[in-house]
Amino acid sequence: MMRMKTKPTATTFKGGGEPVAREWELRPGGMLVQKRNPDSDQITIPPAPTIRVKVKHGSIYHQININSQATFGELKKMLTGPTGLHHKDQKLIYKDKERDSNVFLDMVGVKDKSKMVLIEDPISQEKRLMEMRKNAKMEKASKSISEISFEVDRLAGQVSAYESIISKGGKVNEKDVVNLIELLMNQLLKLDGIMADGDVKLQRKMQVRRVQKYVETLDTLKIKNSMPNNNGGGEMEMQSEDKHTNGQKVAPIQERRYNQQQQQSSAADGVVVTTKWETFDSFPALVPVPSTSTSTANNSISPPKFPWEFFD
pLDDT tens column, 94-142: 998 999 999 999 899 899 989 999 998 888 888 888 988 888 989 999 9
Question: What pLDDT does 37 receive?
Answer: 66
Question: What's the one-letter identity of residue 12?
Answer: T
CA distance linking residue 38 with residue 25, whole number of Å: 14
pLDDT of residue 55 exceeding 90, the answer is: yes
Say if residue 254's pLDDT is above 70.
Answer: no
Across the range 234-242, mean pLDDT stands at 45
pLDDT value at residue 253: 47
**Architecture of the domain made up of 127-225:** Up-down Bundle (1.20)
Q: Where are the alpha helices (DSSP H) in the chain?
A: 72-83, 122-167, 174-192, 199-226, 230-269, 292-300
Banded model confidence at residue 263, pLDDT cuts 50, 70, 90: low
CA distance 246 to 66: 111
Contact 27, 33 (CB under 8 A): yes
Q: What pLDDT score does 308 carry? A: 60
Q: What is Dmax (Cα atoms) for the chain?
A: 205
Average pLDDT over every residue of 62-75: 92
Mean pLDDT of 199-217: 92
pLDDT the model gives residue 4: 47
| Gap between the Cα atoms of 188 and 15, Å rounded | 87
Average of per-residue pLDDT across 190-194: 90
Whether 141 contacts 194, CB under 8 Å: yes
Q: Which residue has the higher pLDDT, 3 or 61?
A: 61
Instruction: Summarize the confidence of residues 273-301 as an average pLDDT.
Output: 49
**What residue segments make up the domains of the chain, in order of their start?**
50-120, 127-225
What's residue 31's pLDDT? Answer: 73
> Would you identify the CATH topology of the domain 50-120?
Ubiquitin-like (UB roll) (3.10.20)
Of 203, 199, 161, nearest to 211 by C-alpha is 203
Which one has a higher pLDDT value, 74 or 125?
74
- Listing DSSP states for 165-220 in one string gives HHHTT----HHHHHHHHHHHHHHHHHHHT----THHHHHHHHHHHHHHHHHHHHHH
Overall pTM > 0.95: no
